A = this chain, B = another copy of it.
Amino acid sequence: MLELAILGLLQESPMHGYELRKELTAKLGAIRAAISYGSLYPTLRRLQAAGWIAEAAETPATAEEVPALTSRRGRVVYKITAEGKERFAQLIAQAGPETYDDTGFGVHFAFFARTDQATRLRILEGRRRKIEERREGLRDVLGRAAERLDAYTLELQRHGLEACEREVRWLEELIANERSGRAPTVPQPGTAGGRREDTSPPPPGESRKERP
């Protein structure tokens, strides 16, 4: 999951670890607290070893002097490689079971702007199915095993059930939107068109006109 997220972010621009963590936190803030450095740095290492990312020269301009005064332990900027982009495309398109759990779905969703419509639909429907299953499980417990559980546990289940129902409704809306061809949900207010300055091939959805 972290791998996918890093690859996705580095496609927008090169970054060093600290920055990456901040962007990750901003982008995934809705689904997970904050990436730990204990995960981030080892993963960066792994991705570099695999050839999916590479170190970029730090500040190629105006880097004349500044010698190895204090042995230079500055920031390390990474950029994605061509192989990395392929890897990302592969990871984003293939859906395993982990694609539908809370974290996995969130990460995939966060990169829907780089995902083709068919895949988006597949993922949304898979997620819906999974949540529906969880919902049924909760209903079962609340129905059949209610008297075996104390009031607090019951209340927890009830709250969880409500969250499931709510998410299913949300997903339904997204799916309907997706099928109708329009990109994201677009609530009410006139959301100004965002600036898109990707340094990569034309991202799929996202813009207004899309060919089915």
Contacts and interface: CB of A to CB of B under 8 A. Distances in A.
Interface of A: 26-27, 29-31, 33, 101, 106, 109-113, 134, 137-138, 141, 145-161, 163, 166, 170, 174, 183-187, 191-192, 194-196, 206, 208-209
A112 B183 CA distance: 44
Contacts of A150: 112-113, 184, 194, 196, 206, 208-209
A78 B209 CA distance: 58
Copies in the assembly, this chain: 2
Nearest to A145: B26
Contact of A159 (B30, B159, B192): B30
Given A109-B156, A151-B194, 11 more contacts: A26-B141, A27-B153, A29-B141, A29-B160, A30-B157, A31-B156, A148-B194, A149-B194, A150-B206, A152-B206, A155-B185
Interface of A is mostly: helix
Nearest to A106: B156
A161 B30 contact: yes
A101 B157 contact: no
20 contacts: A26-B141, A26-B145, A29-B134, A30-B160, A31-B156, A106-B156, A109-B152, A109-B156, A110-B152, A110-B153, A111-B152, A112-B150, A113-B150, A147-B194, A149-B194, A150-B184, A150-B206, A151-B184, A154-B184, A166-B166
Contacts of A26: 141, 145, 149
Nearest to A30: B160
Contacts of A110: 152-153, 156
